[in-house]
């Protein structure tokens, strides 16, 4: 047991204090239960770290498991089996241990001394800067060439500067480098947080499900244990974050109406007058502003109705250009789906409801199509992704949500850079 706890860096838990070496069996048993619980469901409790967290979590019987492991005389196998067993968790573990073999306080990845880099100039730091721009999805990999600051890179830097509320002048100075520069300490912390978030998740999730990564603003559709679709989404902006929910889709809504929430009505519509309502096909109904079905409706032409207490759901949008943005934290909390009609066709086909769905759309009126089997949806938050070679890459933390997890795991505060996106329309 002591050997396992001493080797807890395998799980990026080396900053967590599980207590001094126990001096008797009772104390060692208590220590073993704490460590096993950390592996089995996380060293932290997301329901205490976040106001809303309803994603299904594992619930291993730690006491019974420890007793069985002692009877079998194989404590090591039991402990190893508690942590996630998937390939991504193992890759994160390897990456974390590799970083721990680096110096304790490594220099920044990109040297910050020297003059600012002007468009068209050359600088030995350009290849490292280009790599970070590619990781953050501001620059296509094929456009990262040599040590010259090319027009393509300038355009990428300007987009990044705009997302972080900087002057989009394309000059790479200290502010821009603060976003691009990530030390090994920063990467270690991000990977440790990512591993902890994986420990929060049930070990055998539903084989057919939809996962939405709020940090990356992407949706992944799993069918029978395999990924069959992945597409961009637009999620809540940093001040109206989409919560981490576990909530199923139970029906498709063709030609939806939208009842404007009081918060949006008061903040963004109040005082605009009858002309604005007519132009946006909105009417007053029972004291609420309701937007009628049609191409201007903020929910677009399809809504994926979900069961939760937070009025969060997936839907279409007429604001298609937002999908071309890198930072897609732009909504008031709901999740807008790229090519939502195509996605609805896919779900309807899989459910054997395609004809019924087409008939519902043809009505031009709000029409509900109930799914024979609900599709579980998990709203997750992962800032570490994997490149084409399967290697972990650390992305930005748009909500700043990694901070509280990292602190709970014993890490010092990380970089406090948050996206400054701002919702671009009144939609949910």
Active site residue 315: yes
Between helices 184-199 and 87-100, what is the axis angle to 10°?
150
The span from the CA of 259 to the CA of 238, in Å, is 23
Q: What letters, b where the CB count within 10 A reaches 16 and e where it falls short, cover 215-247?
A: bbbbbbbbbeeeeeeeebbbbbbbebbbbbbbb
* Residue 334 bears catalytic tag: yes
C-alpha span between 200 and 18 (Å, rounded): 18
Count of residues in the chain: 428
What are the phi and psi torsion angles at 286 (to 5°)?
55, 40
Q: What is the DSSP string of 151-186?
A: HHHHHHHHHHHHHTTS-----B-HHHHHHH---HHH
Give the H or E element holding residue 372. strand 367-375
Catalytic residue among 11, 310, 334, 358: 334
DSSP state of 98: H
Look at phi and psi of residue 364 and say left if phi exceeds 0, alpha if psi is from -120 to 50, else beta: left
Q: Which is catalytic among the residues 11, 15, 310, 315?
A: 315
Residues catalogued as catalytic:
315, 334
């Amino acid at each position: 047991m002591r050997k396992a706890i001493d080797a807890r860096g395998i799980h990026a838990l080396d900053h967590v204090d599980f207590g001094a070496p126990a001096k008797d069996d009772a104390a060692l048993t208590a220590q073993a239960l704490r460590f096993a619980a950390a592996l089995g469901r996380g060293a932290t409790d997301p329901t205490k770290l976040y106001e809303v967290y309803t994603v299904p979590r594992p619930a291993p019987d730690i006491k019974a498991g420890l007793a069985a492991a002692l009877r079998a005389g194989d404590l090591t196998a039991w402990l190893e089996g508690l942590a996630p067993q998937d390939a991504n968790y193992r890759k994160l573990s390897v990456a974390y241990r590799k970083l721990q073999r680096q110096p304790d306080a490594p220099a920044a990845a990109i040297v910050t001394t020297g003059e600012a880099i002007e468009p068209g100039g050359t600088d030995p730091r350009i290849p490292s800067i280009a790599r970070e721009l590619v990781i953050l999805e501001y620059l296509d990999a094929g456009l990262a060439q040599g040590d010259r600051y090319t027009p393509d890179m300038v355009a990428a830097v300007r987009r990044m500067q705009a997302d972080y509320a900087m002057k989009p002048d394309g000059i790479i100075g200290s502010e821009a480098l603060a976003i691009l520069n990530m030390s090994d300490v920063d990467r270690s912390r991000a990977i440790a947080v990512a591993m902890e978030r994986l420990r929060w998740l049930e070990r055998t999730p539903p084989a057919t499900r939809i996962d939405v990564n709020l940090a990356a603003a992407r949706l992944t559709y799993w069918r029978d244990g395999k990924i069959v679709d992945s597409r961009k989404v637009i999620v809540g902006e940093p001040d109206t974050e989409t919560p981490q929910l576990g909530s199923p889709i139970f029906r498709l809504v063709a030609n939806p109406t939208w009842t404007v929430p009081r918060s949006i009505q008061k903040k963004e519509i109040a005082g605009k007058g009858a002309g604005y309502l007519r132009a946006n096909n909105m009417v007053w109904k029972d004291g609420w502003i309701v937007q009628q079905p049609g191409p201007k409706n903020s929910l677009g032409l399809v809504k994926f109705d979900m069961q939760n207490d937070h009025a969060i759901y997936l839907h279409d949008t007429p604001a298609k250009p937002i999908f071309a943005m890198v930072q897609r934290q732009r909504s008031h909390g709901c999740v807008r789906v790229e090519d939502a009609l195509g996605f609805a066709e896919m779900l309807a086909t899989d459910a054997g409801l395609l004809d019924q769905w087409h008939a519902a759309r043809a009505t031009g009126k709000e029409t509900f199509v109930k799914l024979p089997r609900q599709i579980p949806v998990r709203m997750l938050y992962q800032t570490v992704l994997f490149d084409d070679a399967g290697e972990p890459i650390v992305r930005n933390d748009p909500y700043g949500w990694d901070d509280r997890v990292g602190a709970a795991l014993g890490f010092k505060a990380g970089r406090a850079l948050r996206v400054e996106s701002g919702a671009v329309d009144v939609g949910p």
